[in-house]
């Protein structure tokens, strides 16, 4: 398991490379959530699947994917959609796009009676997207082996999520969690943590000339 400082150093290194114009595509750094992710990944096994969003560098590192492989993808302009099938790691640059895929794989795992879990990382803005709401409700109704993890930085791109959507995403989280607890489901789970971005939504906060 990588340390908090190693995660910080990796994104700092990527930011310095990005400033040189060598990365021919957008990057989405985060920071501020390293400790939360380290805690979550202590319960994620190598055989489990991880599905993440376009802000996926830290999740990829903690899944055990070598830094060199991740860096190679980023330098190739694939930062927003890194997929490593050999590590059961998949992402999507589409808001909410990863939800249906993760739900489908969770259904297949249940049908095959495999001893592994899906861990699907989403943001607060994504949680409020219709497709994610449907996926979470579906996974709860069928008690699928999927763990939904909400990382709340109160950002919908560059707008505060609570102002943009007019509601506190924690209400949705608590409602879903209560439904799981009331029905005593054993497989499906949902978690929530909040943090403050170290980096801008996209880029590194300075103009880059390609």
pLDDT tens for 41-77 read: 999 999 999 999 999 999 999 999 999 999 999 999 9
What is the C-alpha radius of gyration for the chain, rounded to an integer number of angstroms?
Answer: 17
- Mean pLDDT over each residue of the chain, to the nearest integer: 94
Q: What is the pLDDT of residue 155?
A: 86
Express as a percent the part of the chain with pLDDT over 70.
99
What's the pTM?
0.94
- With a cut of 90, say whether residue 148 has pLDDT above it: yes
CA distances to 118, 137, 168 from 83, rounded to whole Å, are 15, 26, 31
d(CA 210, CA 25): 10
- With a cut of 80, say whether residue 7 has pLDDT above it: yes
For residue range 95-147, list pLDDT tens digits in order. Answer: 899 999 999 999 999 999 999 999 999 999 999 989 999 999 999 999 999 99
Q: What is the pLDDT of residue 44?
A: 98
Which residue segments constitute the domains of the chain, with CATH numbers given? Answer: 46-194 (3.40.50.970)
Residue 21 φ/ψ region, left for φ over 0, alpha for ψ in the -120 to 50 degree band, beta for the rest: left
Gap between the terminal Cα atoms of the chain = 35
Mean pLDDT (whole number) for 80-109:
96
- With a cut of 70, say whether residue 209 has pLDDT above it: no
Alpha helices in the chain, H assignment, sequence order: 4-19, 34-41, 57-62, 67-75, 98-112, 124-127, 130-141, 161-165, 169-182
d(CA 78, CA 75): 7
């Amino acid at each position: 398991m990588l340390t908090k400082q190693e995660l910080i150093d990796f994104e700092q290194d990527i930011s310095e490379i990005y400033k040189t114009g060598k990365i021919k595509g957008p990057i989405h750094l985060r920071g501020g959530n390293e400790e939360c992710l380290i805690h979550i990944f202590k319960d994620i096994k190598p055989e489990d699947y991880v599905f993440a969003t376009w802000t996926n560098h830290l999740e990829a590192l903690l899944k055990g994917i070598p830094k060199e492989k991740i860096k190679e993808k980023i330098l190739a302009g694939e930062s927003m959609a890194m997929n490593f099938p050999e590590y059961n790691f998949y992402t999507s640059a589409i808001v909410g796009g990863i939800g249906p895929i993760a739900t489908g794989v969770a259904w297949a795992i249940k049908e095959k009676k495999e001893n592994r879990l899906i861990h699907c990382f989403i943001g607060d803005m994504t949680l409020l997207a219709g497709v994610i709401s449907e996926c979470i409700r579906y996974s709860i109704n069928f008690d699928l082996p999927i763990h939904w993890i909400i990382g709340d930085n109160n950002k919908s791109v560059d707008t505060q999520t609570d102002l943009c959507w007019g509601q506190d995403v924690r209400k949705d989280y608590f409602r879903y969690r209560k439904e799981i607890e009331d029905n005593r489901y054993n497989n499906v789970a949902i978690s929530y943590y909040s943090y403050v971005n170290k980096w801008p939504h996209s880029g590194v906060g300075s103009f880059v000339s390609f």
